[in-house]
Amino acid sequence: MNKLIFRKFSTDILTFFLLSSISITLIVWVIQGVNLLDIVSEQGHAIKVYFVYTLLNIPKIFSKLMVFTYFLALFVIISRYEDNNEILIFWTNGIKKITFINFIGKISLIIVLIQLSFNLAIVPYTQNLAQEHLKKSSVNFFPKIIQEKKFSNITQNLTIFVETNNEKGDLKGIYIKEKLDNDKDKIIIASTGNLLNDKSKYSFKLSDGKIINLDKKGNFNLGFKETEYDLTKINSKTRKEKEIDELESSFLFKCLEKFVDFRKDNNLRCGNENSFLLKDIYEELFKRFINPIYIIIVSLISTLIIMKNKIEQLQNYYKFILFITGFTLIIFSELTYKFIFESIYLEILTIILPLIFVLIFYLFILIKSNFKLSHL
């Protein structure tokens, strides 16, 4: 009988957790998607590229929200059981409150492992995949970007101006400026031209113009009757360097080999061409490992609901205070890593603080449950 009770209870929690996680993740995903529209409007990528890129950001959003959605699931389900007196089923079947709390602890440990797998493997992989997808995709949104009598900054390296542009792609008065490597610029001026599209691979067919190559030494002019300018080779504004949240956890661990030296020099770097500060790597590892521990903390806070206040009128205030406490700790968990370099003592405190919270809340619940049990 007890197994059936716990099975229904765990099913209710996990169902609410999944539904709330998916719902809130989708809301945040849509909002983030609007903010990422510059991938199309400014970086020149196709809608398909934009959609795949935003989809690959879903695991990161899901992982970020996991502590909150799990806390919300526990809080709502336990409150519902309490309000509907369904919680009495546990006590009348001989289940002790500490057993009930330990069962929630086991579920919480599973959620911790899930978030760790997201933080350490899934999120870095999908973030890296998303950025690689942008890098490999061609810039193929030129028809709508190129406007008449306007200097269009197509990408970070390319500016195009046309005097006229009709629906057939016939152009007049064309000016193209491409920034090359080593402080070199290439300017192409043409009287007429066409925007060609071969299987979404765009190019300009230009007539009656000249090419001007500019560098520190001067310029070199070359006239032409007809030439073709390939637009698929153009780099977009998409960044080329990896962000730290795209790095594999194994790489971050390797960088910690320099940790002892880092204590002497905060400007130590790691990675290809020493592109990442060791400080940032340490912060990233901290976020990936320490934040999931707060899942256990907020689960213990949720279980305090069953320590019912004797004054019924104060029960709602009691729940409100518990919810605010849990929510505050979730916010705190996102800010703690900012303090880890203030001093060695503060760093140690920041690392062990989640464990201290777990111990304090569990001991408090243990004491309260024993007190209550003696009066049942």
Please report, as a single letter, which amino acid is at residue 139.
Answer: V
The whole-angstrom separation of Cα 252 and Cα 12 is: 38
CA-based nearest residue to 188, from 178, 201, 199: 178
At residue 376 the predicted structure's pLDDT band, cuts being 50, 70 and 90, is: very low
CA-based nearest residue to 362, from 111, 95, 103, 102: 102
In a domain, 235, yes or no: no
Looking at the structure, do residues 100 and 248 belong to the same domain, yes or no? yes
When pLDDT is averaged across residues 143-169 and rounded to a whole number, the result is 76
When pLDDT is averaged across residues 251-262 and rounded to a whole number, the result is 66
Is 374 a residue whose pLDDT tops 50? Answer: no
Enumerate residues 6+ apart whose C-beta is below 8 A from 165.
Answer: 146, 147, 148, 171, 195
Strands 218-230 and 201-215: antiparallel
Looking at the structure, do residues 224 and 263 belong to the same domain, yes or no? no
What pLDDT is recorded for position 111?
A: 95
Give the lowest-confidence range in 201-205, 222-226, 242-246, 305-309: 305-309
Number of compact structural domains in the chain: 2
User: Could you read off the pLDDT of 94-114 as tens digits, one per residue?
Assistant: 888 888 888 999 999 999 999
Final residue in a domain of this structure, among 199, 230, 261:
230
Looking at the structure, do residues 88 and 124 belong to the same domain, yes or no? yes
The whole-angstrom separation of Cα 353 and Cα 272 is: 34
Looking at the structure, do residues 131 and 158 belong to the same domain, yes or no? no
The whole-angstrom separation of Cα 160 and Cα 176 is: 5
Looking at the structure, do residues 71 and 198 belong to the same domain, yes or no? no
Final residue in a domain of this structure, among 230, 260, 295:
230
User: Could you read off the pLDDT of 329-368 as tens digits, one per residue?
Assistant: 888 887 776 666 666 666 667 777 777 877 777 777 767 6
Looking at the structure, do residues 257 and 335 belong to the same domain, yes or no? yes
Q: Given 3-state DSSP classes, what are the helix, strand and coil percentages for the chain, each rounded to the nearest 5?
A: 60, 20, 20
Looking at the structure, do residues 275 and 129 belong to the same domain, yes or no? yes
Count of alpha carbons within 13 angstroms of residue 236, beta-carbon side: 25
Please report, as a single letter, which amino acid is at residue 232.
Answer: T
The whole-angstrom separation of Cα 338 and Cα 354 is: 15
Looking at the structure, do residues 149 and 115 belong to the same domain, yes or no? no
Looking at the structure, do residues 360 and 339 belong to the same domain, yes or no? yes
**% of the chain beyond a pLDDT of 70:** 74
Angle at 281 between CA 53 and CA 329, to 5 degrees: 80
The whole-angstrom separation of Cα 34 and Cα 39 is: 10
What pLDDT is recorded for position 371?
A: 45
For residue 47, CA distances in Å to 52, 138, 139, 376 come to 9, 12, 11, 63
What pLDDT is recorded for position 12?
A: 94
Looking at the structure, do residues 223 and 311 belong to the same domain, yes or no? no
Is 312 a residue whose pLDDT tops 50? Answer: yes
User: Could you read off the pLDDT of 11-49 as tens digits, one per residue?
Assistant: 999 999 999 999 999 999 998 887 776 655 555 566 777
What pLDDT is recorded for position 51?
A: 83
- Cα 89 from chain centroid? 41
Give the domain range for residue 317: 2-137+241-373
CA-based nearest residue to 333, from 295, 299, 281: 295
Looking at the structure, do residues 124 and 256 belong to the same domain, yes or no? yes
In a domain, 161, yes or no: yes
User: Could you read off the pLDDT of 169-216 as tens digits, one per residue?
Assistant: 788 898 888 887 767 888 889 898 887 777 656 778 889 888 888 876
What pLDDT is recorded for position 282?
A: 77
Final residue in a domain of this structure, among 230, 259, 289:
230
For residue 297, give the H/E element and its range. Answer: helix 293-303
What pLDDT is recorded for position 141?
A: 56
The whole-angstrom separation of Cα 200 and Cα 195 is: 11
In a domain, 236, yes or no: no
Q: Helix (H, G, I), strand (E, B), or coil: what is residue 204?
A: strand
Which two three-digit tokens encode residue 307?
């320590």
Instruction: Encode burial over 138-175: b for 16+ CB neighbours within 10 A, e otherwise.
Output: bbbbbeebbeeeeebebbebbbbbbeebeeebebebbe
